[in-house]
Amino acid sequence: MQVIENLKIKEKIYSEKLENGLTVMIIPKKGVQKKYIIWGTNYGSNESSFIVPGETEVTTVPDGVAHFLEHKMFEQENGKNSLDVLTEIGVNANAYTTNDHTAYLYECTDHFFEALDEFMDYVQHPYFTDENVEKEKGIIGQEIMMYDDYPDWKVYLNALQAMYHKFPVRLDTVGTIETISKINKDILYKCYNTFYNPSNMAMVICGDFNPEEILQEIKKRLVNKKANGEIKRIYPEEPEEIVKEKVIQNMEVSRPLYTIGIKDKPADTYQGNGKEEIVKKHIAIEILLQLLLGESSNLYKTLYNDGTISASPSMDYEFSRGYAHILISGQSNEPEKVYQTLKQQIKEMKENGINEEDFIRIRKTLYGNYVKEYNDVTDIARMFLADYFKEINSFDYIEQIMTVNSEYAYQVLNEVFDEKKMVLSIIAM
């Protein structure tokens, strides 16, 4: 078992790639009562075209299969729903689908191993029939309609669709009523057998565990399955330019919502795209966003004091295979003003450079935030899983942050914060 220790935060991760290709990561937290396990597959809503290992033809499936699979995995041949079984044991279980991975998880203080039996059983034993697939279409159809009426989701999705011409990140994770109508049990089994192979999966366990002992418990419950070859994922060619700068939709909201997007070159086409470089770039963008519109920035104070915004916007850099973008979201009676003043602020920072004192202060705060993430077993496990599928070790953020200086951040500012790649999505009243 490989042991990686981060001396700065006094944390260790024990990692082993098993014979069947499954990577298991264990982060022991001595004396912590909560236990958390997450088991993910490197398969999200973006994977609609692929070549199955051992085949030569391209398989194309309807949008929404990854999410549909996640829903169906809980239903068992004995008529039980594994989510209900786990709840009865007294553990808090869940699952989610993102653009690039799907994950199953539970957390508890007691009954961990009893729950582990059910958990590892249902993820390894899918049960799809014509009847249960048809029934699920109605349930997911309701979910799709609910999301259509959800302003926070629409403002986000509209921003992505303003940025991306073809790349599937622009599509709703759940698919549409039309695309899910084409899903059948054969499609589900094909995607399950392709993407739920242990060699395309990873598991993270966090809590008060002995690493060797918990690894043996995992191995005992694994179905005998051989590692697959590499899955060839096929994505459409995405132009660098945006689709359109602005999109406005009217919905019932108490105050207009906005999302500002900045389209970036994906990491796999980024110059010098070693994993270190990707992490450094991510850190630099997080610092720049705080300098531009964080709570201590001049722009935030101005917009807050004149009533344009009443709370700090959420600011994220999202990236994975084939895509990367910045998203800034919040509420404002004048979203256009937020957008234009942010553009002006970016322009001024490019002209005047980055204030060194402010840069160091923000970097220190960000370092503190990174360290805080290691206080919670949920944050740790989710972070290590998501980063693993990006081929990043989460410790790299702690290791790299002090190597990111203002000169490097200024270079990223000029490369990424391009006015021609900016979009504004508004949900108006």
Query: What is the full DSSP assignment across 187-238?
Result: HHHHHHHHHSSGGGEEEEEEES--HHHHHHHHHHT----PPP-PPEE-----
Q: Are residues 106 and 66 in the same domain?
A: yes
pLDDT of residue 220: 96
Whether the CB-CB separation of 267 and 168 falls below 8 Å is answered with no
Whether the CB-CB separation of 61 and 48 falls below 8 Å is answered with yes
Q: Is residue 372 part of a domain?
A: yes
Distance CA(231)–CA(216), nearest Å, equals 28
Q: Are residues 56 and 105 in the same domain?
A: yes
Q: Are residues 264 and 227 in the same domain?
A: no
Q: Are residues 227 and 264 in the same domain?
A: no
pLDDT in tens, the chain (429 residues): 999 999 999 999 999 999 999 999 999 999 999 999 999 999 999 999 999 999 999 999 999 999 999 999 999 999 899 999 999 999 999 999 999 999 999 999 999 999 999 999 999 999 999 999 999 999 999 999 988 899 999 999 999 999 999 999 999 999 999 999 999 999 999 999 999 999 999 999 999 999 999 999 999 999 999 999 999 999 999 999 999 999 999 999 999 999 999 999 997 654 445 788 999 999 999 999 999 999 999 999 999 999 999 999 999 999 999 999 999 999 999 999 999 999 999 999 999 999 999 999 999 999 999 999 999 999 999 999 999 999 999 999 999 999 999 999 999 999 999 999 999 999 998
Q: Is residue 304 part of a domain?
A: yes
Whether the CB-CB separation of 332 and 256 falls below 8 Å is answered with yes
**187: which 2 tokens?**
């499609």
Q: Are residues 218 and 341 in the same domain?
A: no
Q: Is residue 239 part of a domain?
A: no
- The single-letter code of the amino acid at 338 is V
Q: How many domains does the chain have?
A: 2
Q: How far is CA 86 from CA 40, 109, 110, 385, in A?
A: 18, 13, 12, 22
Number of alpha helices (DSSP H) and beta strands (DSSP E) in the chain:
15, 15
Distance CA(3)–CA(204), nearest Å, equals 14
- Cite the DSSP H helix spans in 353-404: 356-372, 377-389, 395-400
> Which CATH number covers residue 417?
3.30.830.10
Whether the CB-CB separation of 423 and 260 falls below 8 Å is answered with yes
Q: Is residue 119 part of a domain?
A: yes
Q: Which residues partner with 106 through β-bridges?
A: 37, 93
Q: Is residue 171 part of a domain?
A: yes
How many Cα neighbours within 13 Å face the side chain of 157?
Answer: 17
Q: Are residues 334 and 258 in the same domain?
A: yes
| Residue 56 lies in domain | 2-233
Whether the CB-CB separation of 253 and 264 falls below 8 Å is answered with no
Boundary-marking domain end, from 206, 233, 260: 233
Q: Are residues 227 and 95 in the same domain?
A: yes
Number of Cβ atoms within 10 Å of the Cβ of 246: 14
Q: Where are the beta strands (DSSP E) in 241-377?
A: 246-250, 257-263, 314-320, 323-331
Q: Are residues 200 and 135 in the same domain?
A: yes
Distance CA(340)–CA(422), nearest Å, equals 11
Q: Which residues partner with 399 through β-bridges?
A: none
Boundary-marking domain end, from 209, 233, 257: 233
Boundary-marking domain end, from 233, 264, 285: 233
pLDDT of residue 276: 86
Q: Are residues 149 and 271 in the same domain?
A: no
Q: Are residues 250 and 229 in the same domain?
A: no
Distance CA(206)–CA(250), nearest Å, equals 44
Q: Is residue 240 part of a domain?
A: no
> Which pTM value belongs to this model?
0.94
**166: which 2 tokens?**
């073809």
Burial of 72 (C-beta count, 10 Å sphere; 0-12/13-18/19+): buried
Whether the CB-CB separation of 328 and 418 falls below 8 Å is answered with no
Q: Is residue 135 part of a domain?
A: yes
Q: Are residues 75 and 193 in the same domain?
A: yes
Q: Is residue 126 part of a domain?
A: yes
pLDDT of residue 273: 56
Distance CA(343)–CA(328), nearest Å, equals 12
Residue numbers annotated as active site: 70
